[in-house]
Amino acid sequence: MSEQKATNITWHEHGVTTKDLERLHGHRGVTIWFTGLSGSGKSTLANAAAAALHERKVSTVVLDGDNIRHGLNKDLGFSPEERVENIRRIGEVAKLFTAAGVVNLTAFISPYVADRRIARELQPGSFIEVFCDADLEVCERRDPKGMYRKARAGEIRGFTGIDAPYEPPARPELRLDTDRRPVEACVEEILRFLERKSVITRADVA
């Protein structure tokens, strides 16, 4: 699905650069890519981190898996090929937000290592992978959408963690035990990481 079909196109450089926009915002643009099983806390953590950053006057946007499938990716299902295209498109959108000097937080299962690698390669140096590490049993107990129950009953096929694989990242920038640690502690670790990497300044997180 990612084959280049358009011809006679030219890449245009913008008069206002990413550096210009980062100076305007007062912080760097990055993508914080939350990955993990359904129910591992990706959306909860992405939104909590975005709220904490907003309080510190950091420009943020949250790209949530379900929300994106209501619009941009509403033509995609959940076959392996469509999952690949789903993540490819999100990787391109995330790259645009990073270029705009925004801290964008994506919450997608993104089960395949290869797809996450492609998203990372789109913006080397600005991609922060956060593995929301929660045991399958905990995710099933949470089951906020009732999806595990349906998958166990055979009503959903190809559900990640049940009859479709999830490939955990080997070396994420952050690994958070979201089944054992409270949301507030996880957010604090994210903020500290962003400070160490000079995405935001100490004043932003004081």
- DSSP symbol at 60: E
Domain 18-205, what fold? Rossmann fold (3.40.50)
What's this model's pTM, rounded to 2 decimal places? 0.89
pLDDT tens digits along 99-126: 999 999 999 999 999 999 999 999 999 9
User: Which pLDDT score, from 0 to 100, does residue 84 have?
Assistant: 85
Instruction: List strand residue ranges (DSSP E) for the chain, in order.
Output: 30-35, 60-64, 103-107, 127-132, 174-176
Q: Which residues are catalytic?
A: 110
Instruction: Give residue limits of the domains in the chain.
Output: 18-205
Nearest to 167 by CA among 111, 117, 129, 114: 111
Taking only the tens of pLDDT, the chain with its 206 residues reads 556 666 666 667 788 899 999 999 999 999 999 999 999 999 999 999 999 999 999 999 999 877 878 877 888 888 888 888 888 989 999 999 999 999 999 999 999 999 999 999 999 999 999 999 999 999 999 988 899 999 999 999 989 999 999 999 999 999 999 999 999 999 999 999 999 999 998 754 44
Helix 42-55 to helix 183-196 angle (10° resolution) is 60
Q: Which amino acid is it at 59?
A: S
User: Which pLDDT score, from 0 to 100, does residue 70 have?
Assistant: 80
pLDDT tens digits along 2-12: 566 666 666 67
Tokens at residue 181, please?
Answer: 């640690």
